[in-house]
Structure 1
Amino acid sequence: MTDVLWRPDPARLRDAALTRFATAAGRAWATYDELWRWSVDDLEGFWASAAEFLGVRWHAQPSAVLGSRAMPGAEWFPGGRLSFAEHVLTGRDPDAVAVQFRSEAAGNGAWTWADLRRETSRVRHGLVAAGVGAGDRVAAYLPNLPQTLAAFLATASLGAIWSAAAPEFGADAVVARFTQIAPTVLLAVDGYRYKGRAVDREQEAREIADRIGARRIRFGLLDGTGWEAGFTGDPDAPPEFVDVAVDHPLWGLYSSGTTGPPKAIVHGHGGVLLELLKTAVLQLDLRPEDRFAWYTTTGWVMWNIQLAPLLAGASVVLYDGHPGGDTLWELAADTGITVLGASAAWLEAQRKDGAQPRAGRDLSALRAIGSTGSPLPAECYDWVYTEFPADTWLVSISGGTDIVTPFLGLAPNVPVYRGELGPPALGVDLQAWSPDGRPLRGEVGEMVVAAPMPSMPLGFWGDDDGQRLRASYFEHFPGVWAHGDWLELTPRGTGIITGRSDATINRGGVRIGTGEIYQALASIPEVADAVAVDIPRPETHGAIVLFVVLDGVPLDEALTTRIRTAIRRGCSPRHVPDEVLAVADLPRTSSGKKLEVPVKRLLMGAEPDSVISRDSLANPSAIDAVLDAARSLIPPLRPAHTNLENA
């Protein structure tokens, strides 16, 4: 199969927002790479042009684009005042559909823009009556429903600060998050449905509210009662919008909680607004007729990013329930989704399950399929372009909770190459650096951002001196954001993420990311999932342990040999695993990310509760599966399988 899997449609490109933006900025002739180079070389010029083109509504004009370029501490659009919620809700056709939804508990339905404005106004009234004002925190223990969107917009319209946890999380995981921010109220559901089963959350909601010292406002989903009596106000009252400074906190998001207590990451109104507008309009080319869906819970950053289509005037399709089988494809067919996204793990599961999305259903409206959360295997690219027409845009992106926008992957005028992400996003000075800080091209290096972005965190909640923020992103290369991923920027400007840089395996100077091991294993259909970790041993070169989840077959000597041979050929003889262990499941976050570093620390003797918050995992019992398998590795591992002298 050719490396080029998709090329932009010239007719759509002529009318694309990116084309019109380049013309308005005096760069109609520019290729994407030239446009990107201008956007990072002239950061102030680019963001001034973008804010004007994207129609940012200023209540007070800023005195500059960048008051300070320091990282951390960049000062964006000083003096400017605006409202995020106003940008979502103003200037819309009241009768047009804003939100479609499907829920195992709530059924199917749709809201117009008028409906969304009314519900936002009703919840805003209730929050005000509960004592919420600018700067107060509103915590949400709610599923992915339109009422949750309205509750966020009501919070933002007051200048209050939103923070959410999915109801799939247990009480301890939620308390670990919300205790940090001391919310005034907790908006909490009575339960949800998953795989057809009702999951009661009344006890957890009461416990969380009590432990964080917040008033609980109940939302009855299982019993169908909605917001508690007396909470919401007049649906006919028009929404009001408090304007705030660009750096006024909009929401607090959380790191995964896999290396200790989750960090509360705070982002500002203006920075998020600019980045999401840029992503939706310029990078993804969303238009009012688009219908956007990304399978997510409220505990994953993709829930926040799905606000981007609303900012562009497009509609969103929400799903609350189990995404297995053909569920999401049926949703896409029934609602006319044009852009459908999910985690890379979900797409890979669809491939391995032999899914046939277009069999018996009309997916002709679907123009783009998105993936994020982890690197997408090249075989998944092949699967998508086997199952879908050649004009389907496969959008594999890399971003993060830390910056609530993609670093790279979205460019409507750049071809899709097999196994590669698109180029860096406009305004993102993304580079791959050697350990001594040299930019690399065509080689794997540390992924860094060498200039500020508007949506970089204002800080961590409670980190008043900024020490934790600096240690998290700016310690490795002072004054430069180091994200913790291995990145290769190809000569043609695309990107390849090969895994976490803190999960690198170095053998005799040959360094690879674990993603390369997983890529090699894609040729073995019996391996449904895998995690590779490198365990240091002072007396040896260390030991590579590979945990595999198998698809209905035992791990015998023949399969072990095939696994080792695939890694030897696909990676290097030095990275053949010393131990291959079969487990029933592997721990993942709720967004599908593999927990390589926590698993490594467990094998090195750390107590589970010190490295992993079980309640934050999609499958908490998988920790026990790993620990049970690892018992065979104690006493110390036997590093006998890799012959370094002959490598």
Structure 2
Amino acid sequence: MAAFTGFVEKATGLRFDDYEALHAFSVREFRQFWSLFLQWCRAPLAVAGDAEPVCVGDEVEQARFFPLLQVSYADSLLNLSIAPAEAPAVTECHGDGTVSRLTRGELRDRVARLAAHLAAAGIVEGDRVVAVLRNDASAIAVALAVTAMGATLSTAAPDMGVQALKDRFAPLKPKLLIAHFAPQPFDDLPPAERVAQLLPHLPGLVGVLSVDGAGAPPLPAGLPLFNAPEWLSREPEIEFAWPRFHFNHPLFAMFSSGTTGKPKCIVHGAGGTLLEHVKEHRLHCDLRPGQRLYFHTSCGWMMWNWQLSALASGVEVVTYDGPIDSVDRLWQLVAREHVNAFGTSPGYLKMCEEAGFEPHTLDLSALHAVMSTGAVLHDRQFHWVTQNAKEVPVQSISGGTDIIGCFVLGHPDRAVRAGESQCRSLGLDVQAWHDGASAPEKTGMGQLVCATPFPSRPIGFHDDADGSRFHAAYFSQNPGVWTHGDLIELTPEGGARMHGRCDGVLNVRGTKFHPGEVYRVLAGIPGIVDAMLVQRQAAGLQQVVALLVLAPGRELDTELAARVRTGIRDALSSAHVPDLLLDVPALPVTHNGKPSESAARAAVDGREAANLAALRNPQCLDVIAKHPLLRTGEAAAAGEDSSLIDKLCASWATSLGLPSVGPDDNFFALGGNSLAAARVLRGVQAITGVELPLTALLQAPTVRELAALAESRSPPPSPLVAPMRAGIGRPLFLVHGLSGTVMECWPLVQGLRTERPVWGVQAVGLDGRHAPLRSVTEMATTYLAEIRRVQPSGPYALSGFSFGGLVAFEIARQLEQMQERVDAVVLLDPYLQRDLPWWREHGERAWLALNRLARMSPPARRDYLLALWSRWRHRQPAPLPIVVDEPAPDVRDGLTQALSEYRAPHYPGTVAFVHATQLLPGYVDPMPGWRAAVKELQVFELETGHLDLVGSHAMAVARILDRVLQSV
């Protein structure tokens, strides 16, 4: 950056006292800036022709840069001037630990060979090529070969669903499909099977290229299969000449997220992409020849393309293809490969922080910068990196697929302020607009716009001949400038804070999603005319509120509420289900008809909207703000003369945050969980005087059934074992996890197809009357006695989620010692504790604590020590590591103690193990321990997280359980 600043000063005769002055020049005199930047970086790049005119047109929407230049993107990346042939180019790392390396000369030779064979196969300039690629060196080689031919490339990751691939690739009508076909252990679907489902939607293909040489699925008659390794093994008939193409020829076809409809296909030009990336890499990231860059990405994200372009600066690109199966996986890679610049996401950094991982214990001597993108990076995460990894600049970068680059990013010489991007990108006139104009002081929060032309602006959308959709997306809201859709806050010091999307992306309890995903589901539910999801944060609440406009004559009754909740849960996940459903007459809209989420958020939080004059119907906000569920959080209470069922219905509505509940509504179908169950049963006791255990809701999950149970004179259900589902034959016993209840497993139970009945086993002490148990062995003995009351003799079928797997395993072991037959043991991802000598464990803890203290600032060190002292003095327990709903403290303590003390003895039988391959933060892989403990371990792997086994992947787990039960 300093060298370029000096170059500009010498060329212009100007003096720039600080970066803000340089940036102001770069946007005020944008033509001169881009001309000077091209002069500064042109020598190693494969650029030919006249650099004048620099830009034709003054409007962002129509401007075209360098119309008389020709460029080869691939040749520019692989030039041997900025770094010699023997310089390292790519290091590919794999999940199994293998590493391969390519020099620039080797990579250039591979690209040339592949490009020549592509030409022989009929690929020409302007063709469209699609690829489903793993993140490795072969992907880089084939991608650059395609671009070297002048074809337009669109890439996707192999974990993308077939529907998503079809939505992206089919409209392009590609000529060639490229893919990795060799399966990997972490694949959720074999690549060949995925491509087989995709092929019928790509009728214009003239060939399929196997990147790794593995067999493709059966291809349609006449469609040839090409083999990349075979191409590389033989000389092409004609030597590749590295042609150049016009500056704005289509290079990449990228796609929006698709959260508001089918993904938009955004076409980017070669020259603009190259210039923007070279500027960002060399100036803002200060990347130099020979340095190593690793960005955690896949071939389906624009950061893969961004990292690819770093080759043009002589940078060595490090790739990784494999699962994140331990919290330290990426940091280990950074240390082992001596990475200089590490790119990651706030989610990964948060996972590391919550796991207590301290990367500084690794060799991070080469690391000089950490970059983060994909979401807002909060202040706490800046501090975590510098305190727990290394005192390096933490650069929050933000832009998007729309511009294949960054609007705000880092600066090698500016101070880092937590929570901020260091600066606006050179040449991009980033402003925060309020009400259609920039604030006079040029600071504050507003819509992110770019007010002057820039080379990396997309060429347009694919299949948008008149540009109308492109205009509507970026230029209709604020004519003449690019409107990006993000909220940005510009600081007086020249930095920027990002505040998410203007269109209401939700981030509640750590789960981020776009409301458009939910809107798609709601659009298919009869009776719902319109909907808006907003986040409620008043009084410290973290709730998603769904505002529903219903068809005339339709009410938000329990049937419709249940359909909304279950529909969203089944189509998306339980995390997408709103906390509150509010029926409202109208949604706030602006004068041009656009919904205003910001106004609705203000209403649900009890605030006045910022600009009521901008709304067409501001009166609707008052109706929203006065909704009974927002005012009191409770449904109307039943009158004194109401029947028991009416009173219970009203109580349930209060507990579940619904307008009303019917007598036959199912607690779990309404979105109930263990926390809501406790509230419901407290309501039952307040109304009837009858105290029921949590298992009562497993046995009687509707108001009518629960009322009958409360009114009956029969003894209350066992607090430990209760039926979850009726059936025929020997039951399946399902043991609770660390929440103490099997309620979290309800979606799994509902997904089972077996005819067997299912009984749930709950923890001792949930009722508050009995002392919790504190060992797995004691729990197994107690639970087994209850189980044998239900089923006196074997063969038995046992299962348990998470901690419950340990107890189920121990029950099976005790039954085996009793010489009782056990025909099925299915463990759902239970973790085992590792054994270390006490001196080593305490020594490691002390060493880590001392290192943490040494790196803290004095105020942070004081707060940390005070917190430790308070926790020791009050004997406060450690946080529960693996839990969906946290139980009462005494139950939690017992379960945590049991987890930490249990060591699995040898079991001579067969055990089925469902393993979530995304390991829990801070935990080691449990599989070696289980393989040592079990004589015959049948492992079923699911590429998902631990808690997802009873959430988004519950149906997949149910299929595995069905398969195991059917086989015995």
Please confirm whether the aligned pair reaches a TM-score higher than 0.5, indicating the same fold: yes
- Flag the 1:160–1:605 CA change in 2: closer, same or farther, 3 A: farther
CA contact (8 A) 1:17 1:285 kept: no
CA contact (8 A) 1:352 1:528 kept: no
Q: Which amino acid is the alignment partner of residue 433 of structure 1?
A: W
> Displacement, 1:345?
1.8
- Deviation at residue 379 of structure 1 after TM alignment: 0.8
Q: Which residue of 2 aligns with 1:111?
A: 102
- The answer on whether the counterparts of 2:543 and 2:580 sit within 8 Å (CA) in structure 1 is no
Q: Following the alignment from structure 1 to structure 2, what is the Cα–Cα distance between the partners of residues 139 and 156?
A: 12
Deviation at 1:642, TM superposition (A): 5.4
Paired with 1:184 and 1:532, the residues of 2 have a C-alpha distance of 33
Amino acid at match of 2:54: V
The letter of the residue matching 1:52 is: Q
Correspondence for 1:217: 209
TM-fit CA distance, 1:303: 0.4
Change (3 A) 1:168 1:106: farther
After TM superposition, give the deviation of residue 30 of structure 1 in Å: 3.3
Residue 388 of structure 1: CA displacement? 3.3
Q: Which residue of 2 aligns with 1:372?
A: 373
**What amino acid sits opposite 2:435 in the alignment?**
P
| Counterpart-to-counterpart distance in 2, 1:246 and 1:70 | 19
Which of 326, 341, 346 is the equivalent residue of 1:339?
341
For 2:565 and 2:437, the matched residues in 1 are separated by 35
- Which residue of 24, 35, 39 maps to 1:52? 39
Does the C-alpha gap of structure 1 residues 630 and 492 become closer, same or farther in structure 2, counting only changes over 3 Å?
closer
Alpha-carbon spacing, 1:89–1:386, altered in 2? closer, same or farther (3 Å): same
Q: Which runs of 5+ in 1 are unaligned?
A: 1-12, 505-513, 519-526, 547-562, 568-575, 581-601, 613-619
Q: Deviations over 1:493-532 (max 9, x none)?
A: 111111111118xxxxxxxxx67xx7xxxxxxxx544669
CA, structure 1 residues 26+344, in 2 after alignment: closer, same or farther (shift >3 Å)?
farther
**What does residue 418 of structure 1 align with?**
418
The answer to whether 1:625 aligns with 2:574 is yes
What code does the residue aligned with 1:482 have? T
AA of the residue aligned to 1:353 = A
Deviates more, 1:630-639 or 1:249-258: 630-639
- Counterpart in 2 of 1:522? none
Pairwise CA distance, 1:439: 2.8
Residue 471 of structure 1: how far off its partner (Å):
0.6
Structure 2 matches for 1:13-162, cutoff 5 A? 17=4, 22-23=9-10, 26-27=13-14, 29-55=16-42, 56-91=45-80, 92-104=83-95, 107-162=98-153
Residue type at the aligned position of 1:458: I
Contact 2:159 2:188 (8 Å CA) reproduced: no
Q: Find the aligned partners of 1:578 and 1:105 in 2 and give their Cα distance.
A: 41
The answer to whether the 8 Å contact 2:256/2:266 transfers is: yes
The alpha-carbon deviation at position 401 of structure 1 amounts to 0.1
Residues 62 and 80 in structure 1, CA contact (< 8 A), matched pair in contact too: yes
SS in 1 for 2:273: helix
1:190 alignment partner in structure 2: 181
Work out the CA distance in 2 between the residues paired with 1:246 and 1:131. 23
8 Å contact kept, 1:279–1:308: no
Counterpart residue identity of residue 76, structure 1: F
1:73 to partner: Cα distance: 1.9
CA distance, structure 1, for counterparts of residue 21 and residue 339 of structure 2: 32
**Superposition RMSD on alpha carbons, in Å?**
3.5
3-state DSSP of counterpart to 1:302 = helix
Which whole-Å CA distance do the structure 2 matches of 1:639 and 1:543 have between them? 18
Query: Per the alignment, in what secondary structure is the counterpart of residue 207 of structure 1?
Result: helix
The aligned amino acid for 2:29 is D
Displacement, 1:420?
Answer: 1.0
Following TM superposition, by how much is the alpha carbon of 1:631 offset from its aligned partner in structure 2, in angstroms? Answer: 8.7
Q: Which whole-Å CA distance do the structure 2 matches of 1:443 and 1:642 have between them?
A: 32
- Corresponding residue for residue 205 of structure 1: 195
1:503 aligned counterpart, secondary structure: coil
Give the structure 2 partner of residue 289 of structure 1. Answer: 290
Letter in 1 for 2:212: G
Distance 1:309 1:605 in 2: 50
Distance 2:439 2:243 in 1: 44
Which residue of the partner structure matches residue 242 of structure 1?
A: 243
Task: Give, in angstroms, the shift of residue 233 of structure 1.
Answer: 6.4
Give, in whole Å, the separation in 2 of the partners of 1:303 and 1:184.
Answer: 23
- 1:322 paired with 2:313, answer no
Provide the secondary structure at the position in 2 that maps to 1:172: helix
Alignment of 1:448-597 (within 5 A): 448-503=449-504, 527-529=509-511, 544-545=534-535, 565-566=539-540, 577=543
With over 3 angstroms needed to count, the CA separation of the structure-2 counterparts of 1:458 and 1:542, relative to structure 1, is closer
Runs of 5+ unmatched residues, structure 2: 217-224, 520-527, 547-559, 585-623, 634-968
Query: What do the CA deviations read for 1:52-94 (whole angstroms, capped 9, x no partner)?
Result: 0012543222331011122312110121111111111122311
Deviations 1:331-351 (A, max 9, x none): 111111000001222222222
Cα distance per residue 1:251-296 (max 9 Å; x no partner):
1001112221111110111111110111111111110131001000
- Please state whether the residue corresponding to 2:399 is helix, strand or coil: coil
Contact preservation (8 Å) 2:431, 2:451 = yes
Distance in 2 (alpha carbons) for counterparts of 1:603 and 1:368? 49
SS at match of 1:414: coil
The offset of 1:378, in angstroms, is 1.0
Query: How far did 1:230 drift?
Result: 4.7
Structure 1: distance between partners of 2:412 and 2:10: 16
| Helix, strand or coil at the partner of 2:209 | strand
Tell me which protein shows more helix as a share of its residues: 2
d(CA) in 2 for partners of 1:62 and 1:607?
A: 59
Q: Counterpart of 2:393 in structure 1: which amino acid? A: W
Is the Cα–Cα contact under 8 Å of residues 533 and 545 in structure 1 kept in the other structure?
Answer: no
CA distance 1:470–1:177, shift in 2 (3 Å): same
**Aligned 8 A contact 2:88 2:290 in 1:** no
SS of 1:407's equivalent in the other structure is strand
Q: Distance in 2 between matches of 1:564 and 1:117?
A: 58
Structure-2 residue corresponding to 1:437: 437
Contact 1:137 1:181 in 2 (8 A): yes
Distance 1:578 1:281 in 2: 42
Relative to structure 1, the CA distance from residue 60 to residue 191 in structure 2 (aligned partners, 3 Å threshold; closer, same or farther) is same
1:399 and 2:399 aligned: yes
Contact 2:447 2:487 in 1 (8 A): yes
Change (3 A) 1:393 1:221: farther
3-state DSSP of counterpart to 2:423: coil
Cα deviation digits, residues 313-370 of structure 1 (max 9, x gap):
11110011123411111111111100000122222222222221122x2011000000
5 Å-filtered alignment, 1:343-362, equals 343-359=345-361, 361-362=362-363
Distance 1:312 1:606, change over 3 A: farther
In structure 2, what is the equivalent of residue 586 of structure 1?
none
**Secondary structure, counterpart of 1:110 in structure 2:** strand
Residues paired across the two proteins, number: 551
